[in-house]
Structure formats: structure tokens, C-alpha cells
Amino acid sequence: MILLFIIIGIIKSNAPGTLSCITYLSEQLCEEPGYCIWNGTTCQDYTQNQDCYRINEVGACRENGIYSSIGGSGLCEPLIKLENDYKNVCGITNIVDYNYVRYPIITTGFSTHSLAGQTVAQLKMSAPQQNFIYQVLSVNIQIAKNPDLQIILDLYKTYEAELVKVYIHPYQIEKALIQTLQNLRDDTTPLSPVDKQATMTKFWTLVDVYLKRLQIHKKNYQSYNYFLNFLQGSFSRLYLTIKGQGHMITISWSKYKKNGLIQIISYSPKLVGILNALSDIIFVNVLGEDRTSFTDIENMKISYVQESGTLTNIVRKLKFISDKTQIPHQLMTYTINSAICNSNERECEFSFPSPLSNSTFVFYVEQ
Ligand SMILES: *[C@@H]1O[C@H](CO)[C@@H](O)[C@H](O)[C@H]1NC(C)=O
Ligand SMILES: *[C@@H]1O[C@H](CO)[C@@H](O)[C@H](O)[C@H]1NC(C)=O
């Protein structure tokens, strides 16, 4: 009987997420439970609530868990809703923050080789050949350390001529873009601003390849992935709606001289160091039917609608990005003021110069 209590006692004290991380003495043991961080010599508890999204063990955030308000420091909350497409189980609040959604890391393959065993350097030398493209796509971006990540992004660029062909689905490039941002965001090695900027520059170079591929895909297209979303629509639709967490942005226009496409990429502001945004960051690219830059669009308006809560009836600003390769993003002094936001509809409206002065721009709605 006593033995039984002892056994129960041991099992109970080992309930997932209840042991302090300091008790794990090697890197492997430290990583196994899914709620600790190895600093090179010791296994440590997370101490900042911005790290709650990194936790894999929900027990650590629930009652008696080491991060719960009842069991411990009150650092993290278990999420109310768990989805299969992301790994997050804890947050600062009990709702998943789209800025920090983690897609599962698939560990198949290598970050330095294709699945068939060619090195990234060999693939680069063979570029761009159709018979190598699926090997390029099989190089694992998710497990790459930053130097390898940058080399993989260079490799994609050398295969541009193949990537923009119809036999490659746009999703193949989207996947690389999503995995790149997640990799950069979740990297626990301290990256220099230079490496961050180099990675972002390569990210945007690949975005250009993606946008070329999308132009020959369906005219109207969308792909939502929490922190990085892709949209394309033809001028004839007269508006495009971009969903973000707790808000929607509608871009509308009334007249256009010829047909064309509007391409949009929206992404999470916190990922690029912007902390005062109400909306996602929105990249807009306007193309004429000949697929070159186009500005002859009249009365372009942006409407921002917040789904719930309160939105005070003040004038708000659209802020524009001057350098989207830097983290944090650099801002222009140029802004567009809204009319006074409507607190009943929780809506703000902004008007662009008409016709447009730029065919490509990046903006967000400031708090
Ligand atoms: C890891 O944490 C321990 C305990 O706080 C500390 O003594 C050690 O210097 C840290 N190591 C590194 C590489 O930061
Ligand atoms: C529009 O393009 C000009 C010329 O490239 C640039 O100086 C300006 O900052 C751009 N404005 C916006 C809002 O992107």
C-alpha cells in the first residue's frame, strides 16, 4: 500500500509540464519535455511571456504547470482552441496570436542536401534545370540554421526560370516563404541585424519570383496562412478583402483605364518589429494587363474594420514602409489620414491619391 502511494506520488510529481527545467541535465533531456530552453550549459524555464508560443507541452500552462498562475509564475495561458495545422498550445492569453503561429517542423531530409543526396551547391551549379526542381524543393528550409537558410533562398532564386512556369504550383513557393519567416522568427541563436536583413532581402527576392508565377495562375486567388497571406484579384472586381486577426481590410477602387491585376501580400506586424499596428502589414502590387507596373486606377480606398471591442472615433493614420527588408521595418514620413473613424461600425476609411501615384507600396493602419 505504501509502495503504491509512493508510485502514485512519483507519477503525480512527473505530470507533464510540472517539473522545473533545471532538473534536465542535457540538451536532449531539456528539449524532450517541450517547455524548456537549453542555453548551452543549463536547461532553463522561459521567463518572458513573449516565449509562451514556443511551448509544446500544454500541461506547463495548465493548472499546476510551471507557467500557470495557479502552479507557478502565471507566465502563460493554455489556448482554448487547439488546431491541427499549428503546434501552438500556450499563449500570453488563451487565444492563439497569428503573429506567432508555429507550423509543425517536418524533420525529413536535410537543409544542406536534396532528398536525392545532391548538395545545395551542386543543385546551384546545375541551375536552372527542370529535372532538378523537385530536388530543390526537397531541401528542408524548416530545420536550416540561418546561414543555410540564406543559401537555400539563393538557390531558389537561381531556379527562378523554372519556378515561374505553370507546372510549379504557386503553393510550392508560398511554402518556402512561410517557412522562411517562421524560421527567422523562431531562431533562438542571436542573429545580427545584418543577417536578419540579408534573410529578409532574399525573402523579398523570392516574393518577386512568386508574384511572377501568380500572374499566370488564376486571376483571382487567395491563400491564408495566419502570419503570411497571399491574394490576387482582377481590376474588374472593384474590391479585395484581406482577413487578419480580429480585423478586415478592404481595398476598393472605382475606375481603371485597362484591365489588370492587384497582388497583395499581408503579414504580421510583430514579425517585422512593428508593435503599434491595428492591421496586418499590406504589400500591394498593381499590374496592367501587359503585366507591367500600372497606376491608372481611380478612387482607391482602404477600409479597416475591427471585428469586436471598441474603436474610438479619432483620425487614424496609414503608415507606409520605406524599407521592408529591415527588422524593424523602416517607415516613411508620408502618411494618409483617415476620416474620423466610425466607432459604431468600428471602421476607418482612407483615400489614396487618385489616380494612384505608385504601383507598389506597403502600409498598415496605425493604432
Ligand atoms: C546558462 O545559464 C546559467 C544559469 O543561469 C549561467 O550560469 C550560464 O552562464 C548560462 N550560459 C550561457 C551560455 O548563457
Ligand atoms: C512612390 O514612389 C516614389 C518613387 O519611387 C517614392 O519616392 C515614394 O516614396 C513612393 N511612395 C510610396 C507611398 O510608396
Whether the predicted pLDDT of 64 surpasses 80: yes
Band of residue 357 on the pLDDT scale cut at 50, 70, 90: very high
Whether the predicted pLDDT of 11 surpasses 70: no
What is the share, in percent, of the chain residues with pLDDT greater than 70?
Answer: 96
Q: Which three cell numbers stand for residue 26?
A: 542535457
* pLDDT at residue 206, as a whole number: 98
320 lines ligand 2 (CB under 6 A): yes
* pLDDT at residue 13, as a whole number: 55
Hey, which residues does 288 pair with through a beta bridge?
Answer: 260
Q: Model confidence over 321-344: pLDDT tens digits?
A: 999 999 999 999 999 999 999 999
Whether the predicted pLDDT of 9 surpasses 80: no
Whether the predicted pLDDT of 12 surpasses 60: no
Expressed in angstroms and rounded, the spacing between residue 295 Cα and the centre of ligand 2 is: 12
Residue type, 304: Y
Band of residue 72 on the pLDDT scale cut at 50, 70, 90: confident
Which residue's alpha carbon is nearest to atom 3 within ligand 2?
Answer: 358
Closest CA to 207 of 73, 362, 341, 57: 362
42 lines ligand 1 (CB under 6 A): yes
* pLDDT at residue 7, as a whole number: 47
Rounded Cα gap, residues 132 and 155, in angstroms? 11
Band of residue 71 on the pLDDT scale cut at 50, 70, 90: confident
Expressed in angstroms and rounded, the spacing between residue 321 Cα and the centre of ligand 2 is: 10
Using H for helix, E for strand and C for coil, what is the string for the chain? CHHHHHHHHHHHHCCCCCCCHHHCCCHHHHHCCCCEEECCCCEEECCCHHHHHHCCCHHHCCCCCCCCCCCCCCCCEECCCCCCCCCCCEECCCCCCHHHCCCCCCCCCCCCECCCCCEHHHHHHCCCCHHHHHHHHCCCCCCCCHHHHHHHHHHHHHCHHHHCCCCCCHHHHHHHHHHHHHHHHHCCCCCCHHHHHHHHHHHHHHHHHHHHHHHCCCCCEEECCCCEEEEEEEHHHCEEEEEECCEEEEEECCEECCCEEEEEEEECCHHHCCCCECCCEEEEEEEECCCCECCCEECCEEEEEECCCCCCCCCCEEEEEEECCCCCCEEEEEEEECCCCECCCCEEEEECCCCCCCCEEEEEEEC
Q: Which of 30, 39, 189 to mutate to test the pocket of ligand 1 (most atoms within 8 A of CB)?
A: 39
361 lines ligand 2 (CB under 6 A): yes
Whether the predicted pLDDT of 3 surpasses 70: no
Band of residue 126 on the pLDDT scale cut at 50, 70, 90: confident
100 lines ligand 2 (CB under 6 A): no
* pLDDT at residue 8, as a whole number: 45
Band of residue 5 on the pLDDT scale cut at 50, 70, 90: very low
The dihedral region occupied by 64, where left means phi > 0, alpha psi between -120 and 50, and beta the remainder, is: left
107 lines ligand 1 (CB under 6 A): no
pTM: 0.94
129 lines ligand 1 (CB under 6 A): no
What is the share, in percent, of the chain residues with pLDDT greater than 90?
Answer: 91
Expressed in angstroms and rounded, the spacing between residue 15 Cα and the centre of ligand 2 is: 57
Whether the predicted pLDDT of 273 surpasses 80: yes
Q: Which of 27, 41, 46 to mutate to test the pocket of ligand 1 (most atoms within 8 A of CB)?
A: 41
Q: Model confidence over 144-203: pLDDT tens digits?
A: 999 999 999 999 999 999 999 999 999 999 999 999 999 999 998 889 999 999 999 999
Whether the predicted pLDDT of 311 surpasses 50: yes
Q: Which of 357, 362, 364 to mutate to test the pocket of ligand 2 (most atoms within 8 A of CB)?
A: 357
Closest CA to 302 of 273, 266, 261: 266
Whether the predicted pLDDT of 119 surpasses 70: yes
39 lines ligand 1 (CB under 6 A): yes
Mean of the per-residue pLDDT values for the chain?
Answer: 94
14 lines ligand 2 (CB under 6 A): no
* pLDDT at residue 43, as a whole number: 97
Q: Which of 21, 27, 42 to mutate to test the pocket of ligand 1 (most atoms within 8 A of CB)?
A: 42
Q: How far is CA 357 from CA 49, 278, 334, 352, in A?
A: 42, 25, 13, 9
